[in-house]
Amino acid sequence: MSPGKQATEPEAAVVAAGVRLEKMNRRVRLSRLVLFTAIAAGPVALGVALVSGPTTVAATPKTEPTTMRTTATAADPSGYAQLFVGAWLRSSADDAATAQARLAQSLAPDVELPDPAADAHDAHARLESVTAVRSAQREPGRWWVTVAAQYADASVRYFAVPVTADESGGSFTVTGAPGVVAGPGRAEVTKSLYGVSVPEGELSSTVGEFLGAYLTGAGEVERYLAPGVQLPAVSPAPYRAVTVRQVLAVEEAAAEEKVPGDGTTVRVLAQVEARDEAGRWPLAYELELKARSGRWDVAALASGIAQKEVRS
């Protein structure tokens, strides 16, 4: 063996020993890091760190893709039934190739198309619109939808349509021919909460000026709003003039001559008359107003009329 080769082997051994020493030092530093972290995290984490060796690396298990399913437990097929009745009434068995007939058959494959008379589409019998007015779930996945059909002569017929929905609530099928039924009854109107008459004064004036700005664009809506309330005006402005006919309130404070203390809130129903080029239109708005610094600010504008008493 040559002298050069004999000198190389000890050097290689020293290098290998150094590499092993460096690996051991790294393991020691890693163990200390894990131990100190566990101490900071608490006793439970410390116990886990002492049991688990620093050289053990746990492979992260492969996660399977999660399949998300959206279940509409109360899926309402009213729109589906409305679409079907509109297409079905405009169809004819004599011409199943029309767009309306194809649509009706796609929504209800097993339902026979009607056979209207030749003069069924005159001015009196012409279908104007269809609207779903009621839906009732008979059992899970099965519905009855009542659809109103209005004709050009102002007559209305009501059709009950059976519809089936799948488990996800995303697919529907009309399962039988519609049947003509009596229309929904008229519900009894409960007594309105707005029983306090508001005289002319600060409150009624604020209501009139606010609605004028809101509906005609005359003035800025923001000046009538309570701090923090955002309510953009109707755009483009639909009317040229608005007149307050009557203001009714729930709370007696709305009828007081003087504006009450700051923070007092009242609910009012404003009945107004709006005018445009096409005529005169009676409108109603439910508002909530709040007293501030001797004036009334509009705190909320609601659509519809509250009928149930609000209990505090």
Summarize the confidence of residues 277-289 as an average pLDDT. 96
pLDDT(307) > 70 = no
pLDDT tens column, 50-82:
344 443 333 344 444 433 334 444 578 999 999
Confidence of residue 26 (pLDDT cuts 50, 70, 90): low
pLDDT at residue 186, as a whole number:
87
pLDDT(22) > 90 = no
pLDDT(221) > 80 = yes
Summarize the confidence of residues 155-170 as an average pLDDT. 90
pLDDT at residue 27, as a whole number:
53
pLDDT(126) > 60 = yes
pLDDT at residue 302, as a whole number:
85
pLDDT tens column, 245-265:
999 999 999 999 999 999 999
pLDDT at residue 121, as a whole number:
58
pLDDT at residue 185, as a whole number:
86
Please write down the HEC assignment for all residues of the chain.
Answer: CCHHHHHHHHHHHHHHHHHHHHHHHHHHHHHHHHHHHHHHHCHHHHHHHHHCCCCCCCCCCCCCCCCCCCCCCCCCCHHHHHHHHHHHHCCCCCCCCCHHHHHHHHHCCCCCCCCCCCCCCCCCCCEEEEEEEEEEEEECCEEEEEEEEEECCCCEEEEEEEEEECCCCCCEEECCCCEEECCCCCCCCCCCCCCEECCCCHHHHHHHHHHHHHHHCCCCHHHHECCCCCCCCCCCCCCCEEEEEEEEECCHHHHCCCCCCCCCEEEEEEEEEEEECCEEEEEEEEEEEEEECCEEEEEEEECCCCCCCCCC
Confidence of residue 167 (pLDDT cuts 50, 70, 90): confident
pLDDT at residue 29, as a whole number:
52
